[in-house]
Amino acid sequence: MDASGVNPRLLALIEEEKRKVIANEIIAKLTDTCWDKCITGSIGSSFSNSEVACLSNCAARFAELKMHIMQQFQKR
Amino acid sequence: MDSSPELQRFLEQEKQNMMMKELVGKLTSICWDKCITSAPGSKFSSGESTCLTNCTQRYLDMTMIIAKRLQM
């Protein structure tokens, strides 16, 4: 990406804002997705062990999938 | 705000990048929903892996077909 000639401070600001937006979006997406997949019964006063395991696995698998798809894209 | 041609080019590139990222995000959601039908494990099962690969490839094939159609 050639951004020569653009104010470097503006670039740095844009990059920082992008990082914040992306981080927030990832958290929101994972929360939605993994809640739907893992919290399927009645809701208790804390998460059960299997729910905790599921949520942890879910976040890891989803991130893994996204990485994988990005790589597929770059290959095409 | 600076509206130099360099900035225009940069912003156009950023738009392209964002569109690409949106498509990746959408594809991830769609194939996740289609293929991960039970509680996720510590890794993808081979069935899930196959489904996810197929889903990604077919979806991308479809976007190409549609794009070509619209050019006619």
Query: What value does the mean pLDDT take over residues A33-53?
Result: 95
Residue A25 has pLDDT above 60, yes or no: yes
* Domain architecture of chain B: domains with CATH: 5-35+43-71 (1.10.287)
Q: Which of A34, A30, A11 is nearest to A22 (CA)?
A: A30
Minimum distance, in Å, between the CA of residue A69 and any CA atom of chain B: 7
Read off the tokens for A11: 């670039």
Of B13, B32, B57, the CB nearest to A65: B32
What is the domain partition of chain A in residue ranges?
8-75
pLDDT tens digits along B15-52: 988 888 889 999 999 999 999 999 999 999 999 999 99
Q: Do B13 and A1 touch (CB under 8 A)?
A: yes
User: Which ipTM did the prediction report?
Assistant: 0.77
Residue A2 has pLDDT above 70, yes or no: no
The Cα–Cα gap between A6 and B13 comes to 13
Averaged over B44-64, what is the pLDDT? Answer: 94
Cβ contact, residue pair A14, B14, below 8 Å:
yes
Top residue of A56, A69, A70 to mutate, by most chain B CBs within 10 Å, is A69
Name the residue of chain B whose CA is nearest to A35's CA.
Answer: B39
pTM of the predicted structure, to 2 decimals: 0.79
The two structure tokens encoding residue A13: 């600001």
- The per-residue pLDDT for A35 is 97
Per-residue confidence (pLDDT) for residue B1, from 0 to 100: 59
The answer to whether the CB atoms of B27 and A69 lie below 8 A apart is: yes
Q: CA-to-CA distance for A60 and B5, rounded, in angstroms?
A: 42
Banded pLDDT at A12 (limits 50, 70, 90) = very high
Interface of A with B (CB under 8 A): 1-7, 10-11, 14, 29, 33, 37-38, 50, 54, 57-58, 60-62, 64-66, 68-70, 72-73, 76
Residues 6 or more apart whose CB falls under 8 angstroms from that of A58 comprise A30, A33, A34, A37, A38, B39, B40
Structure token pair of residue A59: 């976040």
* Closest by Cβ to A57, choosing from B6, B10, B42: B42
The amino acid that residue A75 corresponds to is: K
C-alpha B58/C-alpha A72 separation (Å) is 12
- pLDDT class for A31, splitting at 50, 70, 90? very high
Question: What gap in Å lies between CA A42 and CA B60, rounded to an integer?
Answer: 38
Q: Tell me what pLDDT residue A32 has.
A: 95
What does CATH list as the number for A8-75?
1.10.287.810
Dist CA A40 CA B71 (whole Å): 45
Nearest CA in chain A to B36: A37
Contact A51, B34 (CB under 8 A): no
